[in-house]
Structures are given as structure tokens and as C-alpha cells.
Structure 1
Amino acid sequence: MHGERHVICPKSKTKILMTGIKKEVKTMGREAILKSIKNNKPDLLSIPEIDVTQFTEEVNLIEVFKNNVNLVGGNIKEVDPQDIDVEIKKMYPNAEKIVSVADECSLGTVQISGKTDPHELNSIDLAIIKGSLGVAENGAVWISENEIVVRALPFITNDLVIVLPKDQLYLHLLHAYEIIGKRERRFGLFLSGPSKTADIEQCLVIGAQGAISLTVILI
């Protein structure tokens, strides 16, 4: 259907005749959209089976892990469990508001629980948490809410320390996925180094959105 309308130009006060084609637009309801999506879903593909043995290498897991933690901007130390408090004090002498949810450390000055409001942690200087396992290929550590108690804790703190057992290091992520797939949790993630970004002019900035430093303590 052809249509026409008049538009007044505000500057010249002249009337302009505009003609065009009026199109009818058909809209689909919610049920119709969902039905269309359901009818046009692609066929499901089975997950390929990976032979994990093909990725086995004879390497020093601790050394590879150390190198990659440093590569992603983190710090790492091997420490005897009884010396953890002393070493952390050396590294972060000015930390006052400290949350520790690692059994090996007794430096905590702020207590938290599963009911703690994350907003109450916005002034935390240091958080000390326990890592479940480490991945040598990229220096990542798996943490879950079972260890950190409050999900926001590793990200809202100024500095972060992760206590990690040496015997929980794995070479590749695929090995780590086999382990975490057998554990119960609602929230977890791999954390590799401190917060960082290189989006702007390819310039690496450490501490961009979260913790400005991350230290892994191997015990």
C-alpha cells in the first residue's frame, strides 16, 4: 500500500510531501517463537572421546607450574606448612584486614561465613584461601565455593594468597577436568594469576578488575 504524509521543516516552515510504501509487519508470539526454535534445532553431536594417555609427558610438574605462575603475573613459593604465617607476614607486612579460610593459616583478623554479605568485604587487604588443584600447563588453580566460603572473596580482596598442596598438581587441563568432574559443588573456577587486562593498546595491566597480586604457596 502506497501512502503519503506531509512534514513541516522547522527552519523554513515549508511543507514537504513525503511518499513511501507502508509495509505490514507480522509479529510472532512467545509460544510461536519457542516452537520455531524447537523445530529448527540442529542435531545433537556426541562428545568426542579423548585418549588422555596421549598427553602424558615426563616433566617436573612443580617446575613447570612455577614457571607458568610467574609467566601469568603471579608469585609462587614452596613453604613448610608450619612456616606459612611467617612467610605471608614477610610478603604482606602492611595487611591489616585479613580473611583466612585456609586451615594452615592463622592470620585472619576478619571472620566470614556463608551468610556474610560480600559488600562487607570491600575493604579487605588480604585473603588467604585453599586451592583444590593446580594445572602446570597454564599456572591455573581450581577453587570452589567449598574452599572460599563467599564467592566474591578472591575478587574483592586487594591481594590474594592461595595455599596449594604439591601433590595436587596436574599437567594439563584435561587431567584436571577428570578430577573436578567427580566433585560436588555449585560454583568453581580456574584462577590463573592476578587480575589483568591487555585490551587497551596491547599493554598488560596487572590488577585491572580484581586482586592486584596473587601468590601461590606450595606446601
Structure 2
Amino acid sequence: MSRESILNAVKNNKPEALPLPKIDLNLFEEDIDLVKTFIENVEFVGGRVVQLNGMDNLDTEIKKLYTNASKIVSCVKESNLGTVSISKDTEPHGLEDIDLAIIKGELAVAENGAVWIVENDVTIRVLPFITNDLVLLINKENIHLHMHSAYESISKRDRTFGFFLSGPSKTADIEQCLVIGAQGAVSLTVLIL
């Protein structure tokens, strides 16, 4: 079959759309420390969290954590550590030797340690995945209890590319051999401001 005939067959045999289920979000409410729970879940998936008391010591803390990083892309105006400049026109394949990327997260989710990152904050979509190490900045006021709340928040945004990221890249094969950094960053540090 040709590509066109396959696509037409799929289009013509599409099931009827069903309405989304109604979910009572009150059932998911918990009186927990969002920051503490977020930290526990980031650490559970292999990441690290550092709480800062403002932006004054941001660069000092990052340098302390990543002493050997020399090729650094900073996508946040609060950090002056960037040594590599990128733009929308930068060839993504040329970023394969980036040691560290510093990126702002829009919001975070306590229940799974995930951080929501949008395209406007990364300059090039591949950056969070191609860098060796990744630092994400998140404001503690932007930590949501669960994914329902996070999705409600992001549903009000402009429809641009965005994704949730939780922990460093990892995979395990059938022999139960865990590999860190298989498809992305080897380490992830979330700095909570």
C-alpha cells in the first residue's frame, strides 16, 4: 500500500471521539510539604536538588557542583557562567561536546520530581538532551502537588513545544544493567530558588 492509501484508511476508520473523563481533583489533595516531596522524588530518580536563598550565590553554587565544566551554555539571564553562545540558527550537532547547560524550568511537580521546560527557555530543543550535565532552575512557588494541577497550569499557555523532564537520562536492559546518560544528560541538578 502507498503511504497515502494507508493514511486515508486510518482517517476513514478513526474511532468516534470520546469526552475526557471528569476527575474530581479534590480526591488528590494532600497536605504535604511540596518542596520536601519534590526533593525526595528528584533524588529517587537519580537527580540532585539544592535549595538556594536567592540568586546571589547561583553561579558560585553551580561552579562548586560542576568544577570541571568548561563548555557551558546558560539560557538564564541570572547566570554569567555561559562560555558557549547559541542561537536559533546554531547547528544542533555542533553541541555534542557541551559540558553543562543551565535552563529555567517553568514549573515542577512534587509527585514525580518532574520539571516542565518550554522551547522558549532552551533556545535549541536538543540542548537538555545533548548536554553532558544539566542544571534546571525552578521557583519553589511553582511546585505543583500532582500532574493534574501541572496540566491545568500549562493548558493556559501558548501552544509551543514543551516537555516534562525527571532525573538524568537512564535505561536498563534485560540483564538489569542500569546505564545513566544513555539518551541524555548524565546528571541533573535542580536548583530551587
Q: TM-score range by the shorter chain?
A: over 0.9
Which runs of 5 or more structure 1 residues have no equivalent in the other structure?
1-26
Aligned residue runs from structure 1 range 1-219, under 5 A: 30=4, 34=8, 37-80=10-53, 81-219=55-193
Change (3 A) 1:73 1:164: same
- Given that residues 144 and 185 in structure 1 are in contact (C-alpha distance below 8 angstroms), is that contact kept between their aligned partners in structure 2? no
Structure 2 CA distance, aligned partners of 1:185 and 1:114?
18
Distance (Å, rounded) in 1 between the aligned partners of 2:22 and 2:72: 45
* Number of matched pairs: 192
Q: 2:24 corresponds to which letter in structure 1?
A: D
Amino acid in the other structure paired with 2:120: N
Q: Distance in 2 between matches of 1:33 and 1:100?
A: 42
Distance 1:64 1:188, change over 3 A: same
Q: Percent identity?
A: 57
What's the CA shift string for 1:159-208, capped at 9, x where partnerless? 00001111000011111000111111421110000010013322322111
Greater RCO, CA 8 A, separation 6+: 2
8 A contact 1:98–1:107 mirrored in 2 = yes
The gaps in structure 2 that reach 5 residues or longer are none
Shift of 1:41: 3.1
Change (3 A) 1:37 1:210: closer
Q: Say if 1:44 and 1:108 are closer, same or farther in 2 by CA, change over 3 A.
A: same
The alpha-carbon distance between structure 1 residues 86 and 50, as it changes in their structure 2 partners (threshold 3 A), is same
Assess, with a 3 A threshold, how the Cα gap between structure 1 residues 28 and 182 changes in structure 2: closer, same or farther: closer
Structure with higher Rg: it is 1
